[in-house]
Amino acid sequence: PTDIRDVLVSEVDQGGVEAAVAEYETLREQYYGSWTYDFREATLPDVAERLAVQQPDAALALLDHNLTHYPASAMTYVYKARILAGVKRDFDGAIAMVREAQRVQPDAPGLDRMLEQFEAAREAAVSPESP
């Protein structure tokens, strides 16, 4: 079979994120546990990363869907934070996602530093420019 990441990117391109989520669920129901496709926690974040620049809303929707299967996925919240800050320039949203990652996995490395970076970027974005 084709790699599920490629299948999902193609589904987003052809039919939108709803089609990709439906295809993911269909394949998951049919093949979960068979090693035919990879349904681990990182699969949808990997797809979202591929889509982030060109289709950030689709990427965020896939990450939201990942949380239905992996609600305690700090990694998923971190990916959302990166897209929100880096692509959408939504630093408040990114900060909220990092805080959620900290809530679900308090010992995850690098989250304090990421939070500081997004807070600094938010301040720089709202501060008047220096002469």
Residue pLDDT, tens place only, 74-131: 999 999 999 999 999 999 999 999 999 999 999 999 999 999 999 999 999 987 665 5
Distance linking the first and last C-alpha atoms of the chain: 58
For 109, the token pair is: 């490395």
Q: Could you tell me how far CA 72 lies from the centroid of its own chain?
A: 13
Q: Can you give the pTM of this predicted structure?
A: 0.91
Residue 79: phi and psi, rounded to 5, are -60, -45
Q: Are the C-beta atoms of 41 and 75 separated by less than 8 Å?
A: yes
pLDDT of residue 129: 66
Query: Measured between alpha carbons, how far is 82 from 95 in angstroms, rounded to an integer?
Result: 10
pLDDT, averaged across the chain = 95
pLDDT of residue 126: 85
User: What is each CA distance from 130 to 117, 120, 124, in whole angstroms?
Assistant: 20, 16, 11
